[in-house]
Structure 1
Amino acid sequence: MTSDETSQGRAARLRRRWDREAGGYDRAFAAAERRMFPDVRHRLCARAEGRTLEVAVGTGLNLEHYPRAVTAGAPGGLVGVEWSPGMLDVARRRAARLGLDRDVDLRLGDAQALDLPDDAFDTVVCTFSLCAIADHRRALAEMTRVLRPGGRLLLADHVASSVWPLRALQALADLVSVPLAGEHFGRRPLRWVTEQGLAVEEHERTRAGVIEQVVARLPAGAPVRG
């Protein structure tokens, strides 16, 4: 079996796992969210402006936090891409409950290979998802590619702690969580954001440095990074 076949098989297994967990994901995640980052979604998504893309939209937990100017913009003003059909189904039902089903475009897609044109969005959002994307550097390169010069990238995730004993525990957790569920606890996407040529405007770490928020802008006239 080739490495590509092995990678494809692992991706298919992980997608089936997310599909199975989609129905109970919100309940399982709620307690951790209330304790660790109760207001992060609202604070970050409120910064979205213009045509907005959310990468790895999941079950649509961010939908209610976007400004109405974003969700009620031109058709496709808010586009959400999700890898798991099961998670996407939940997001679409949430959009319908919120009365947003006609305003947002929720579609299947891979964060590592976005089927979207260059320079298409004023804002790109990704929350608590880079930790579970196999090649997060490639995903960040794609987010930069579709971002218009002058546009902003809004990120939030759990990352490697700034406290070394906790960081050591995260490294141990990775030994189990990465092969089993594709979940990484020791990543620091900020370094790859700056490598993509974006200028960090705001950066905040909380909860022993485990929760990180980044607001970065693609400079006007910046070359597209691939």
Structure 2
Amino acid sequence: MTAPYSPGETPSKVVPLPHSDLSKKEQVAGMFDRIAGRYDFLNHFLSMGIDKGWRKKAIRTLKPIQPRRILDVATGTGDLAIAALSLQPEQVTGVDISEGMMEIGRKKLAEKGLSDKIGLQYGDSEALPFGDNTFDAITCAYGVRNFEHLEKGLQQMNRVLRPGGRVAILEFSQPKKFPVKQLYRFYFRYILPVLGKSVSKDATAYTYLPQSVAAFPEGSAFCSIMERSGFSQVKARPLTFGITTLYTAEKA
């Protein structure tokens, strides 16, 4: 298991393939390309379907500002982007570095008749291809943990968000109370990697997951990083015994 996060550092050294010469960004993109075909099934199966409720809660935090243009960073197969349609925005744009994940997402959108409402395109979190103050709201589900340079990605999100706009970020965290803490650690260390590997046929993705969660600067540490990246009114709301955390913030 990777060592816990230390203040002042980033989890960028936690990568899917520790002995590879590829950058974290390249490794993450390749990993998601490999598991794209089984990602949605595993996502819902390994979380026992609770992830759908987490997404709904994230989207509800944006309702007060009635966003017309929404950006979903690290959109993957588009689940959070689809959930954002409940706000009735004019357009939702999803960006990701994994073309394999977005290919699955585009098929999903076509089947649901949503291709005109949600557009998926390649986009690097550290160099978002949009102008300043473009979006009313930004979402990201379980993606910031995979940024190669965390603060740079958050600064880019802040840049393309309009003043007064809101951001909602979901990320895994580690429960603190007995017995959930102990059960969670056992599941994440011993059961999830085996189940993930057997279904996805990828030996790295579900070993990398618990390692990257352990290294992520969760809670108040991540809130501080968001504030340094230009966000205000930053809040962290643990969900389901702290298995995941919903971070919300605004751009002043």
Q: Distance in 1 between matches of 2:51 and 2:28?
A: 25
Indicate the SS of the match to 1:67.
Answer: helix
Q: Is residue 185 from structure 1 mapped to residue 231 from structure 2 by the alignment?
A: no
Matching residue of 1:45: 59
Indicate the SS of the match to 1:92.
Answer: helix
1:22-46 Cα distance to aligned partner (Å, 9 max, x none)? 0000111112333654411112124
Indicate the SS of the match to 2:163.
Answer: strand
Q: Which moved more, 1:54-63 or 1:6-15?
A: 6-15
Q: Is residue 121 from structure 1 mapped to residue 154 from structure 2 by the alignment?
A: no
**Do the aligned residues in 2 keep the contact of 1:14 with 1:181 (CA within 8 Å)?**
no
**Do the aligned residues in 2 keep the contact of 1:51 with 1:70 (CA within 8 Å)?**
no
Q: Output aligned runs, 1:52-71, within 5 Å.
A: 52-68=70-86, 70-71=88-89
Deviation at 1:144, TM superposition (A): 0.7
TM-score by structure 1 length?
0.78
Q: Distance in 2 between matches of 1:150 and 1:105?
A: 24
Q: 1:84 to 1:203 in 2, by over 3 A?
A: same
Q: Note the aligned Cα RMSD (angstroms).
A: 3.0
In structure 1, what residue type is equivalent to 2:138?
V
In structure 1, what residue type is equivalent to 2:70?
T
Q: Is residue 195 from structure 1 mapped to residue 228 from structure 2 by the alignment?
A: yes
Matching residue of 1:223: none
In structure 2, what residue type is equivalent to 1:50?
R
Matching residue of 1:105: 119
Q: 1:161 to 1:140 in 2, by over 3 A?
A: farther
Deviation at 1:52, TM superposition (A): 0.6
Deviation at 1:79, TM superposition (A): 0.8
Q: Distance in 1 between matches of 2:143 and 2:21?
A: 19
Indicate the SS of the match to 1:122.
Answer: strand
Between Structure 1 and Structure 2, which shows a larger proportion of helix residues?
Answer: 2
Deviation at 1:63, TM superposition (A): 3.2
Q: Distance in 2 between matches of 1:98 and 1:66?
A: 14
In structure 2, what residue type is equivalent to 1:148?
R
Matching residue of 1:142: 156
From 106, 121, 136, the counterpart of 1:92: 106
Q: Distance in 2 between matches of 1:43 and 1:132?
A: 22
Matching residue of 2:10: none
1:1-28 Cα distance to aligned partner (Å, 9 max, x none)? xxxxx76455333322211100000111
1:103-135 Cα distance to aligned partner (Å, 9 max, x none)? 222101111221111111110100111122222
1:138-185 Cα distance to aligned partner (Å, 9 max, x none)? 211111111111100111110244359949x59x96xxx79x747611
**Identity percentage over the alignment?**
23
From 65, 83, 102, the counterpart of 2:97: 83
Deviation at 1:69, TM superposition (A): 5.2
**Do the aligned residues in 2 keep the contact of 1:198 with 1:216 (CA within 8 Å)?**
yes
From 156, 163, 166, the counterpart of 1:152: 166
Tell me the matched-pair count.
207
Q: 1:184 to 1:205 in 2, by over 3 A?
A: same
Q: 1:42 to 1:113 in 2, by over 3 A?
A: same
Q: Which moved more, 1:201-210 or 1:129-138?
A: 201-210
Q: Which moved more, 1:7-16 or 1:117-126?
A: 7-16
**Do the aligned residues in 1 keep the contact of 2:163 with 2:251 (CA within 8 Å)?**
yes
Q: 1:164 to 1:196 in 2, by over 3 A?
A: farther
From 15, 19, 25, the counterpart of 1:11: 25
Matching residue of 2:250: 217
Q: Distance in 1 between matches of 2:24 and 2:228?
A: 28
In structure 2, what residue type is equivalent to 1:132?
N
Q: Where does the alignment leave 5 or more consecutive residues of structure 1 unmatched?
A: 1-5, 220-226
**Do the aligned residues in 2 keep the contact of 1:119 with 1:149 (CA within 8 Å)?**
yes
